Structure 1
Amino acid sequence: MPAAVWAIVAACVLWGTTGTAASIAPETVSPLAIGAATMGIGGLLLFAVNGPVALRALRDPAARRWLAAGSLGVFVYPLAFYSSMDAAGVAIGNVVSLGTGPLFAALWEWLFERRGLSRRWAISTGIALAGVLLLGLGGVERPGTSPGAGPDTSSGAGASDPLAGILLGLLAGAAYAWYTYASTRAIAAGHPGRAAMGGMFGTGAVLLLPVLLLTGAPILTSGTAIGVVTYLAVGPMFVAYLLFGYGLRAIRSSSATTLTLLEPVVATLLAVAVVGERPGPVAWAGLALILIGITVLVAARRRPAGALSQYHFDHG
């Protein structure tokens, strides 16, 4: 596989830890505060290390309109994503949010470029989305929340409203696919991936700071909360998006979002091992289908030597 694919895979592994890390935070810290802090602080870090090239991209009218549009997705995504996991559990929140990304990515590409997708891409994504559906329908059991209580078969640790969590996950999936697509358009305007990531996430961070100011006070009252937010901002946010920006230089946004279906797999495994969630047999079958779908996609994206540079030129 090309280095760009490996970079996105590494980013997915980091992203897969977000739900488990967030579950460690005290209950007094809301998912809105965690989301705003994670991408707000992480976005500022991305802008700081890429300042000159990010400013150059923001000054370019062709790139600026896409970076501004993408920043709206950066604003919506963390608020919806962490709220989805809070309502439906780590496994299902991750699966719905990231599993629907390819569907929305294809929609954005069709709306703005009238770009069709290959039959093999449709098959691979269909297999993966079938896995997402099975994982959602399969249910996730969690231990009782009080001594002597029986198992809670809602959706996951801390789950309170699975339907709301699924709807929030759909919103997160649309927002994630949107800022992924917008970043590829900025890159196609002639700017490196780190310029697009720095400019877009820096602008999104400015939008998230008011939310952090309104909701973030409980973070400062707990060393655990500070540690969780620091990890989320530096690892899954800062480092992972540097890797993701590198990967987008050579991979279409629809392909990138399909590859990121690895994230819910990692997130589910960690939810089982650390949080205590227990997917049923149907849910495990869904995980297997997700892996099969990704494998089909990677096989479909192999190209002869020399094709990558032309693909990069065409798609950013």
Structure 2
Amino acid sequence: MTINSKAAPLIAAGVTVLLWASAFVGIRGVGATYSPGALALGRLLIATAILGVMVARRGFVRPSRRALLLTVTSGLLWFCAYNVALNAAERHLDAGTAAMLVNVGPVVLAVLAGIFLKEGFPAKLVVGSAIALAGALVIGASAAGGRHGDLIGVGLCLFAAVTYAGGVIAQKPAVGELPALQVTWMCCAVAAIACLPAAPALWTETVQASGGAIAGLVYLGVFPTAIAFTTWAYALARTEAGKLGATTYLVPMVTALLSWLLLGEVPAPLALAGGALCLVGVAVTRLKSKPKKLAEVGLSD
């Protein structure tokens, strides 16, 4: 079956949303076993190994200096800093709340894309992002209303959101020059190298870990990292960064559902209300413009 060229990026983005949502739950599940740096390194090493084999089979495209610099930047910001910060944040917040807070990122991304990638600021994108940002602020207020430790989690999530946005902005031009698979592999490799100081902790914690925790680490490395970041890069190469970033506002609702089913954790009612606002924001950014009447464009009889 042949997939329509217009549908393929949407399907890829859908796969990414589902797998990234599961990542928040997975991180929460193994967070008691693995420290933030060790967990990030473990995921990255697994993903780098898997993607490296695939890149070797398809052939390596030599990057220009510009593409190499952009890929390294994306790897450090998004694949390294983002992951470590998120791992640390989920020691203070439940998975659903963390996912909602991190999704301030697409708002930052839309602004940066309009400035640096010249994607502009369509009215629907601005309005939808504003609504979603309001939702994120409601979520933050709900989390901050808890114990003092939650404030640490809120700050870490917001930091993760900014590094995510910066990483995507750096990655967008790179996937225009290099295959999405290769860019993802290079980002993973760069981030893994940056996380190597956590190698002793990863070894010690893995030796002491249960089989379930190790399986959780492997899952995070294969699916939300190796697969989801590749499908994201594929979609990013074929979609405006600002519009694609808006689709990740769907992640929190999926995360909240999975967190409830698998971990028995449910975000506070105020946080859920904020999440609903985020969904409204997504809907607004995805509204299609009504076709103009022939008379309005000078094509009437």
- Aligned residue for 2:287? 299
- Aligned residue for 2:216? 228
Instruction: Name the amino acid aligned to 1:77.
Output: Y
CA contact (8 A) 1:95 1:135 kept: yes
CA contact (8 A) 1:9 1:260 kept: no
Alpha-carbon deviation of 1:90?
1.3
Q: 2:76 matched to 1:72?
A: yes
- Aligned partners of 1:250, 1:198: CA distance in 2, in Å? 19
| Aligned partner of 2:156 among 163, 168, 176 | 168
Q: 2:127 matched to 1:123?
A: yes
CA contact (8 A) 1:29 1:216 kept: no
Instruction: Name the amino acid aligned to 1:104.
Output: V
CA contact (8 A) 1:51 1:198 kept: no
Instruction: Name the amino acid aligned to 2:197.
Output: P
- Aligned partners of 1:280, 1:214: CA distance in 2, in Å? 33
Alpha-carbon deviation of 1:185?
1.0
CA contact (8 A) 1:55 1:199 kept: no
- Aligned residue for 1:264? 252
Alpha-carbon deviation of 1:137?
2.8
Deviations 1:101-153 (A, max 9, x none): 1122134335534553111101111112222222333459xxxxxxxxxxxx9
CA contact (8 A) 1:88 1:163 kept: no
| Aligned partner of 2:40 among 35, 38, 41 | 35
In the superposition, relative to structure 1, how do residues 301 and 174 fare at CA in structure 2: closer, same or farther (>3 Å)?
Answer: farther
| Aligned partner of 1:86 among 75, 91, 96 | 91
Deviations 1:6-43 (A, max 9, x none): 21121111111123223332724223322221133223
In the superposition, relative to structure 1, how do residues 68 and 136 fare at CA in structure 2: closer, same or farther (>3 Å)?
Answer: same
- Aligned partners of 2:88, 2:283: CA distance in 1, in Å? 30
More displaced stretch, 122-131 vs 277-286: 277-286
In the superposition, relative to structure 1, how do residues 176 and 302 fare at CA in structure 2: closer, same or farther (>3 Å)?
Answer: farther
The equivalences for 1:39-188 within 5 A come to: 39-51=44-56, 55-57=60-62, 59-73=63-77, 74-97=79-102, 99-110=103-114, 112-113=116-117, 115-139=119-143, 154=146, 161-188=149-176
Alpha-carbon RMSD? 2.6
Q: 2:216 matched to 1:211?
A: no
- Aligned partners of 2:169, 2:251: CA distance in 1, in Å? 18
Alpha-carbon deviation of 1:184?
0.9
Alpha-carbon deviation of 1:65?
1.4
| Aligned partner of 1:282 among 259, 270, 274 | 270
Q: 2:189 matched to 1:202?
A: yes
Alpha-carbon deviation of 1:227?
0.7
- Aligned partners of 1:263, 1:192: CA distance in 2, in Å? 25
User: Which SS does the other structure have where 2:61 is aligned?
Assistant: helix
- Aligned partners of 1:276, 1:32: CA distance in 2, in Å? 26
- Aligned partners of 2:136, 2:198: CA distance in 1, in Å? 31
In the superposition, relative to structure 1, how do residues 28 and 194 fare at CA in structure 2: closer, same or farther (>3 Å)?
Answer: closer
Percent identity reads 24
- Aligned partners of 1:28, 1:199: CA distance in 2, in Å? 28
Structure 2, gaps ≥5 residues long: 1-5, 292-301
Alpha-carbon deviation of 1:300?
4.0
Instruction: Name the amino acid aligned to 1:36.
Output: L
In the superposition, relative to structure 1, how do residues 17 and 251 fare at CA in structure 2: closer, same or farther (>3 Å)?
Answer: same
In the superposition, relative to structure 1, how do residues 54 and 71 fare at CA in structure 2: closer, same or farther (>3 Å)?
Answer: farther
Instruction: Name the amino acid aligned to 1:217.
Output: T
In the superposition, relative to structure 1, how do residues 178 and 300 fare at CA in structure 2: closer, same or farther (>3 Å)?
Answer: farther
CA contact (8 A) 1:39 1:78 kept: no
- Aligned residue for 1:5? 10
CA contact (8 A) 1:33 1:211 kept: yes
User: How high is the TM-score relative to the length of structure 1?
Assistant: 0.80
- Aligned residue for 2:21? 16
User: Which SS does the other structure have where 1:278 is aligned?
Assistant: coil
User: How high is the TM-score relative to the length of structure 2?
Assistant: 0.84
The count of corresponding residues between Structure 1 and Structure 2 is 284
